[in-house]
Amino acid sequence: MSKKPPTINEATCGTSSGYTIHHRRGESPCGPCLAARRDYDRRRWAVKRASVAIEDGVRVPAIDFAELYLAAPIELQDRLDKRLGTITIDALIKAYDAYIDSTQKDRAS
């Protein structure tokens, strides 16, 4: 059975979960989803090869994560926006801004 052509979804295409959505619909993956899935598989393979239990990621304090996000190249920020959702990213940035404000008030006083 041949697969249906991919339905492009701006919100999920270009992610590994977008690849899974195409698969569930019986569609061929679009190019960006296929590339994202290959990248996901490569990451998993690299982590597995390192034989360290970090397959599900690492825990990073929220403020440190926000600082890393803000320093990240735009391509990485876009990927994190898709993975975590803009509501979560916006909340992290807001918390980071509040933290910076409070540290600057401490220095001023």
Q: Which stretches of the chain bind Zn ion, using CB under 5 A?
A: 13, 18, 30, 33
Nearer to Zn ion, 41 or 55 (CB): 41
Please say whether the beta carbons of 45 and 56 come within 8 A.
no
User: What is the distance between the alpha carbons of residues 2 and 27, in angstroms, rounded to a whole number?
Assistant: 9
Tokens read off for 60 = 């990073």
Least Å distance, CB 32 to Zn ion, is 6
In terms of C-beta density within 10 A (0-12 exposed, 13-18 middle, 19 or more buried), how is residue 93 classed? middle
Nearer to Zn ion, 17 or 77 (CB): 17
Nearer to Zn ion, 37 or 66 (CB): 37
